[in-house]
A and B are shown apart, each in its own frame.
Chain A
Amino acid sequence: MKRLTVDAMNRLSDEELMRHIANDRHAAFDTLYSRYAKRTGGFFLRMLAYDREKAEDLVQELFVRVWTNRNTFKAGRSFRTWLYAMAYNLCKNEYRQETVHLAYSEECLKRGEETVEPFDKLESEERYRCLRRAIQALPQEQRDAFLLHYDEELTIAEVARITAAPEGTVKSRVYAALDTIRKEMNKLK
């Protein structure tokens, strides 16, 4: 396999980069990392109650796993599904260790009570806070399905595969999540 320039690497798909990574190409790994580090970091933030340090640790852990498992990635498979399956498992480990504190959502709740303006006039940062609070208040399974589907834009089938749930269940979870978030947001109107 011939060596590629950084520009050429940037033009490759995730799956093609994984082929290079399987051949120990460090530059391919760096390209994939720069493509996904911020994105997965944001995902960990939203999944783990905005614990920034934990999110930074997990991004590192996730990409160490990408490197160590590079030879188990099968051709024809979607890299994103594979990556988010590992990311989701890391989140589940955190849930099991009960290290996820929802202190942030408490703070957000207080701020919401102080707010007197109608929802559509709130500054965008204030609206983000309300949305964060509503997402954090969701039951864990709904939150996982909601964030994987709408935030990370994975298909219902991919979310079903990652969370090991039937597709119908995933649809019900995201439907219920949308309902709950709407109700939470309406409380501010």
Chain B
Amino acid sequence: MNDHELKRKELENADILELLHEMRNEENSSFTPRECRPYTKRERCLVSPYWLVAASVIGFVIGIAVPKGMPDVHDNALVQERNGNSAVSIADNSAGKSIASGDVNLKLLRTH
């Protein structure tokens, strides 16, 4: 197939090619594309409500739940240890809580 033959064929079918261009222009202009903003995906992800909820939960656990969630028995034990009481007597004074059960953990309290 050479260029000359193809050119001849195009000239023979010029009416079809003209019709094709008319049809193309009409179809293209009547096509309504949707909005496309692929560059907003990343930003949207960063401020997603899921991230905000996750950050709030983590903040609550670290900032509020952990310090305030210490059992009373530990606070009592800390006070009693500061007053010079031994671990055994602290356990006795702590409403039946034993050192072995881990309810009174002086080591933890000292580092707290």
Spell out A's residues near B (CB within 8 Å). Answer: 24, 26, 29-30, 33, 37-39, 41-42, 45-46, 52, 55-56, 59-60, 63-64, 67-68, 124, 127-128, 131-132, 150-151, 168, 171-172, 174-175, 178-179, 181-182, 185
Contact = CB atoms under 8 A, between A and B. Distances in A.
B19 A131 contact: yes
B28 interface: yes
Contacts of A174: 6
B31 interface: yes
Contacts of B29: 38
Given A174-B6, A175-B5, 11 more contacts: A30-B37, A41-B31, A41-B32, A60-B34, A67-B38, A128-B26, A150-B20, A168-B1, A171-B2, A171-B3, A171-B6
Contacts of A41: 28, 31-33
Contacts, number: 83
Interface residues of B, number: 28
A41 B17 CA distance: 20
Interface of B: 1-3, 5-6, 9-10, 12-13, 16-17, 19-20, 22-24, 26-29, 31-34, 36-39
A151 B19 contact: no
Nearest to B2: A171
A56 B13 contact: no
